[in-house]
Amino acid sequence: MDAIHIIKKKRDGGELSRSEIQYLIEGYTVQRIPDYQMSAFLMAAQLRGMNLNETISLTRYMLNSGSILRFPGAPGPIVDKHSTGGVGDKVSLILAPLVASCGVCVPMVSGRSLGHTGGTLDKLESIPGVRTNLNIADVTRQICDFGVAMIGASKEIAPADQQIYSLRDVTANVDFIPFITASILSKKLAEGLDGLVLDVKSGCGAFMKTRENARQLAEALVEVGEHFDMPTIAWLTDMNAPLGRAIGNWLEVEEAIECLRGEGPNDIMDLSLKLSGEMIALGGLADSPEEGQEMAQNAINSGRGLDRLAKIVETQGGNPAMIHDPSLRMRSIEPYTVTVPLDVSGYVTEIDALAIGEITNSMGGGRIVIEDKIDDEAGIVLHLRPGERAIPGLPLVSLFTRKTDQIEVFENRVINAYKFSSKKSKKPQILLERLTVEGWESNS
Ligand code: URA
């Protein structure tokens, strides 16, 4: 067997065997197969397609490139959530401590922001001192002590995914369903989960722009997850407008804290509670997702969820007092208020999530390439969201940036990201459809 024959077979539309995929992934992980051959394979596969069996093999060998975590002394079922990425999505910061305070163990492996989408690791690290590069022993200890750890992928967990993801990113091979499926599931299977809840996003601010593509991704994820005996549920959710009001690392941590106090924006509260309920039920600690959701709501009401976030922060190197009083983190940027234009009257109908993510990046709040340093304080607070009344001259958004010489450019771009109408429109529905092994269920 050699790489050239495997690339040729895929180029000509053939189906690769399990051992051919094993040869490629193992060879690439130990650097026997060079980047240029892997790039050629990736593009051939994207153009010719990969079927379910090939996607399963890809997932298997990416998973086997590292260790699989095991938690023999864990105090509860091991369940995680994964989102395919969006703008203003701080759900992981809310849900991981929340469900852990209800008895679910969450060894959450998250990613960094890239392109217009945010990343949980960057948000968490905007809390001074917090580390996410824990080793397996640290994660195991945290899971056994208090049920939750929030970390990044490492050389120990699905390293093939890290290597291949970097190559996909620079060879136009990201948005291909079999690669996304194998990438997400190899990391999640490495967590040794008893169940996985997926938030598959569709819309202008998501990887999958159309609902049809997002449905296909959800179907591939559930089918492959279940193939590996990991019970998997997916929610299809809307990512046309940003989630919540805050976009930018520290601003999103502040909003996550508001949510854990029960005071967050409705869309992010509803989504966090829905996915928490699913995780609690999937772990067998509630008889139904609805009962799980009630347990999560009680953990918010009692403050247990917020206390658990403070515990994560303390154990991973930060100051837990900052979670109970976010004003302890001194702000060094003054917000600039953009007001509703004088020629507008009526209601907000849409906010372009992709544009808002890109403006946040330009203001210093995101990453264009992986080496970029993020300004944790940079970002946007949306005072008006879809469905809300826009009164000329009143605040529309606050911009947090050190690039004050470009403030007018940012202001114009933000105003262009909004659409207004004189007619009141409905608030967008975030939770669209639910997929289990039994099939799709609509949320209407
Ligand atoms: N998230 C991942 O972890 N991998 C992908 O390929 C896309 C989104």
User: How many angstroms separate the alpha carbon of residue 83 from the centre of ligand 1?
Assistant: 9
Mean pLDDT of the chain: 95
Between 108-122, 146-160, 270-284, 348-362, the lowest mean confidence (pLDDT) is in: 108-122
- The number of the ligand 1 atom at minimal distance from the alpha carbon of 180 is 6
Q: Catalytic residue among 10, 112, 116, 168, which?
A: 168
Ligand 1 atom 5 nearest Cα: 180
Give 175's pLDDT tier (boundaries 50, 70, 90).
confident
Task: Say whether 398 is catalytic.
Answer: no
Binding site membership of 111 for ligand 1 (Cβ less than 6 Å)? yes
> Which amino acid, one-letter code, is at 47?
L
Give the pLDDT of residue 372: 77
User: How many angstroms separate the alpha carbon of residue 87 from the centre of ligand 1?
Assistant: 15
In contact, 83 and 271? CB cutoff 8 Å: no
Binding site membership of 183 for ligand 1 (Cβ less than 6 Å)? yes
Q: Catalytic residue among 161, 199, 267, 376, which?
A: 161
DSSP class of residue 337 equals E
User: How many angstroms separate the alpha carbon of residue 45 from the centre of ligand 1?
Assistant: 17
Binding site membership of 184 for ligand 1 (Cβ less than 6 Å)? yes
Whether residue 77 is predicted with pLDDT greater than 70 in this model: the reply is yes
Binding site membership of 180 for ligand 1 (Cβ less than 6 Å)? yes
Binding site membership of 185 for ligand 1 (Cβ less than 6 Å)? no
In contact, 276 and 99? CB cutoff 8 Å: yes
Binding site membership of 92 for ligand 1 (Cβ less than 6 Å)? no
Q: Catalytic residue among 101, 126, 183, 186, which?
A: 183
Binding site membership of 173 for ligand 1 (Cβ less than 6 Å)? no
Give the pLDDT of residue 124: 96
Task: Say whether 227 is catalytic.
Answer: no
pLDDT of 355-370, one tens digit each?
A: 999 999 999 998 766 6
Between 410 and 114, the more confident residue is 410
Question: Which residues face 395 on adjacent strands?
Answer: 339
Ligand 1 atom 8 nearest Cα: 84
User: How many angstroms separate the alpha carbon of residue 307 from the centre of ligand 1?
Assistant: 30
Ligand 1 atom 6 nearest Cα: 180
CB atoms within 10 A of CB 161: 26
| DSSP H or E segment with residue 106 | strand 106-110
In contact, 180 and 207? CB cutoff 8 Å: yes
Q: 265 to each of 1, 245, 373, 390, how far by Cα in Å?
A: 56, 7, 29, 18
pLDDT of 339-396, one tens digit each?
A: 999 999 899 999 999 999 999 999 999 876 667 789 999 999 999 999 999 999 999 9
